[in-house]
A and B are shown apart, each in its own frame.
Chain A
Amino acid sequence: MPNQTFILNGQQVNVDCDDDIRLLWVLRDLLGVTGPKYGCGLNVCKACTSHCNGQAFNPCSVEVGNLQPTDEITTIEGLPATVGKALHPMQEAWLKVDVPQCGYCQPGQIMTAVALVNQLLAAGISTITDADLDSIANVCRCGTYYRIREAIRDGAKAMQS
């Protein structure tokens, strides 16, 4: 059985499994990393959103065999460490606004938000527009969308300070 290796939340990990298993199941079922949630397995609901080399992606739709040993995967569990704090500013913003209800989508929402803001900041854009927020496809069935918008605007400011 092939050995898969990549960097997960700052640590090189090794796992023996077939190449075609989607990364979400490698994380959840083989490595016990359960922050990324299953919501569809179709790259639609975005509940499993994590980062690969700093960009948002959906591990439900990427085969583990397509990862390079140097690829850096960050899940919600590893997000605070990317800023060297106990909580990422976006998580702090989520708490301030009291965004979650059932909470199931929120790790994915936060990972999407952080990647979006980082992408905008890298392009020299510091103001989050409604169009930016409208582009977020993550489903929240509890309907916390408006609080998510508030929290992203708050979190984006904190990420720049």
Chain B
Amino acid sequence: MSVDDRARPDVGMGQPGGITRRRFFGYLIAAPTLVTAARLGIDLTDPSSAAALPGLPSALPGLPSALPSLPSPSDLVDLNDILTYAADPTANLIAVIINPNGTASFALPRDESGQGITTSSAMLIAEGLDLPLSKINISLAAARPELLFNQFTGGSNTTIATYTPILVAAALARQALLEAAAIELGEEVTDLTTSAGFVYSSSGAKLSYGSLATKAAVMTTSAASVTLKPSSDYTIIGTPQKRIDALAAVTGTKQYTLDVVVPGAMPTMICRAPTINGTVVSVQNAAAVQAMPGITNVVTISTGVAVVGQTFGQCIDAVIALDVTWGPGSVDDLSDADVQAALVAAELPFTVPTLPILAQTIDVDFTFWWKCNSALEPQTAIADVQSDSCQIWSSMQTPILVAESVAAYLGLPVDAVTCNVTEGGGAFGRRMFNNAPMEAVEISQAVGMPVKLMWHRTDEFRYGRVHPACTDHVQANLLLGEVLSFEQRHTGVSTDYTQGFGEILTSLAAQLPDQNFLEYSNTIFETTVNIPYNFGITSQLLAEIYDYDTFHSGSVRNLYNPDVVCARELIVDQIANAMNIDPYTFRSQYLNDSRALAVLDKVATVGKWGRKMKPHTAQGIAVHSEYHGRVAALVEIDCTPTTTNRPLDSCIPDVTGTTGPRVTKVVFAVDVGLAINPLGLQAQMMGGIMDGIGEALTTSLHLQDGAWLEGSWDNYFYTRQWDVPFELDIIVMPPTTGDPGGAGEFGVAASKAAVACAYARATGTLPTSFPINHNEPLQFTPFPYVPPIPQSPDLQPPA
């Protein structure tokens, strides 16, 4: 892998969007040691909003322009509580604390589950404060309801939203330390400099930040302003930095929810219905199961029958032993073919008027099948419900919504609910939904003690969230070497957006009739998809079928674009082919965006586009714009029979079937405007590439009679080592806009599209259903549905 040698930021004054030497406003916070803060979600250069005390946030980023009418929120949460939170002097503040031992602390109001945002946040503080990374402690903030919409981890938005506020808070701290040092030394601030946690004076004096921390503390909170250094002076931002939690990860000491010790919290699992949304009618043997070894409780809850025991192994035994009569689910009469037919029937018509008689039409309808988030750490939550309070530990992308929902469920004030955000073992959108915390709360209340809930892997596949199946109907019209029109109709099973913006008002709004589609699906679709080519008349429209809660749906590392872009880029190749133009050359000629052209050219050059390939192998190329950034992927795929027919049991014993094609090489270029941590950005792109490979070739769920067939990683073929490219080059482009863009979901779409394009070129057939093996005979025997989870194998240990 490489970071482009020009990747060091050199964006200074006057660069569009880059931080200029304007004054930024924040606070000095009353505390025994130095605490500085800045507000999230507003323009920090505007003193009237940035430092106004108190006041409602002047802008709520990402919020739909008009909130729909609300149902009676007082039934669930007191609106005045929320308004009070918003008016609180500390509303939307994030704070940097300078500790007397010379370290800095920062509680990040986001969920770290692999994205690297604890590392990049530490880098921002290090940059603003002139303190080594090793002296910066980042924790995850517990739910802070007063943050309103600003404690929602999703949409690859963390760095976009927190970049300037963190820099401002850190720079204010450095300024306050300098001012304290000036008093201490009897010198002018202008005669002082900082470096690596120390203040130096021109006279040779040296004071540590630790020694100044309490001296710089203030008795009353007040507004303050600071000038940020120009980005040309950055020494940390833009440099590759390793993860701050890597040592904990490789030594097994990094703490996830299941590793948190809460006294008395017992292992807990749930026996679930055989079909989606099935319900418990009766439990025949609760007493007998409760008498099983280690089991202490069996209790029916809204989503199944919970068992509590001494070990998770005994909980698995108990779940398997339960004899439950189940009611029907919500989609028992639906299988893949039914959903596909319903999607096609709901496709919106194309709008291009009658075309000249000589026009050539390309018209293809693609199907993209269900995908599961399936983070490696399953859904987990610890809940301790007391009569007047509740504590939760879980990796939560929407902790405020969890706190508000739990408060409503338990009839407690929101501030009686503490939601501790633990680091997650992956999320991919799954932890936006509060299923595990809510179940844990329900069980803890029912059994009268704290519980440690864990979903089984099979639960994750069969009862978890899915990225909806969808079709992409694309029509392009060509005439005399010109593209007259390019239209795309994306039709999906509804995506559940009831997480809203991570708190209860927008969550409730999303549950109103039609609002999930109008305020969320359609808004997000229209603001994220695009056709970056000069293609005459263009349009992209979304339609959805079923209600948002017919299936348990959600985003899976991106929303629409992995599918929309895959379909679009495949048709771009078809147009190029019809015009007898090379796919790269065609894109170069028709792209209407210089940043997209730059990443395209980069991968074509580095990846040696057009080099001679052997039969049944080919290159593919694709571009994508989203999250204020641009990416391009060049892929080489091997579809020779020798490779495609590699038996899976050479890698995993007892699994029949074959691996399918192999992507042998990927060259990827990413321009996020400004890469805070190029190394972390490369990691995120690598993950997106692996998702793209899997989604194009092997990764999907199958729906049959209202239930998912998959129940294990050896059924649901996410990318594994035997699918990994031999060559992988991820190029971080030099800064362009000077402002950071999104990263977490950004790598998937172009990778998936390039793999699909390469496959089409290698095989000479246009795939129209993804993953390409979805409609082939199953390579596994599905686990039974009753019991809902399989017993663990009983293998002999190695001698």
Contact = CB atoms under 8 A, between A and B. Distances in A.
Contacts of A17: 311
B252 A18 contact: no
Given A29-B310, A34-B258, A137 B797 contact: no
Interface string B684-701: 101111110000000000
Contact of B250 (A45, A71, A95): A95
Contact of A77 (B115, B249, B251, B721): B251
Nearest to A92: B250
B113 interface: yes
A45 B252 contact: no
Nearest to A86: B251
B728 interface: yes
A141 B456 contact: no
Contact of B312 (A29, A45, A80): A29
B252 A36 contact: yes
Residue of B242, B254, B424, B688 with most partner-chain A CB within 10 A: B254
Contacts of B24: none
Contacts of A87: 250-251
B252 A38 contact: no
Contacts, number: 229
Contacts of A102: 113-114, 375-377, 423-426
A143 B690 contact: yes
Interface string B244-257: 01111111111110
A22 B721 contact: no
A45 B686 contact: no
A145 B294 CA distance: 38
A145 B713 contact: no
Contacts of A149: 721, 724
Contact of B792 (A32, A43, A143): A43
B724 A146 contact: yes
Contacts of B256: 37, 104
Interface string A76-103: 1100100000010001001100111111
Contact of A63 (B113, B311, B794): B794
Given A63-B794, A146-B728, A53 B721 contact: no
A103 B249 contact: yes
A42 interface: yes
A68 to B, nearest CB: 8
Interface string B399-414: 0000000000000000
Interface residues of B, number: 77
B208 to A, nearest CB: 28
Contacts of B712: 40, 42, 44
Interface in B249-305: 249-256, 258-259, 261, 267, 293-294
Contacts of B724: 133-134, 145-146, 149
B725 interface: yes
Contacts of A75: 252
Contacts of A36: 252
A77 B374 CA distance: 26
B793 interface: yes
Task: In the A-B complex, list the 7 residue pairs whose CB atoms are closest, starting with the nearest.
Answer: A35-B252, A143-B690, A104-B425, A103-B249, A102-B114, A76-B252, A143-B687
12 contacts: A18-B294, A38-B378, A45-B376, A62-B795, A98-B242, A98-B679, A100-B249, A101-B116, A104-B376, A136-B721, A139-B376, A141-B718
Interface of A: 17-18, 20-26, 28-30, 32, 34-45, 47, 52-58, 60-63, 66-67, 71, 75-77, 80, 87, 91, 94-95, 98-107, 110, 130, 133-149
Interface of B: 113-116, 242-243, 245-256, 258-259, 261, 267, 293-294, 310-314, 316-317, 374-378, 423-426, 428, 454, 456-457, 650-652, 679, 683-684, 686-691, 712-714, 718-722, 724-726, 728, 790, 792-799
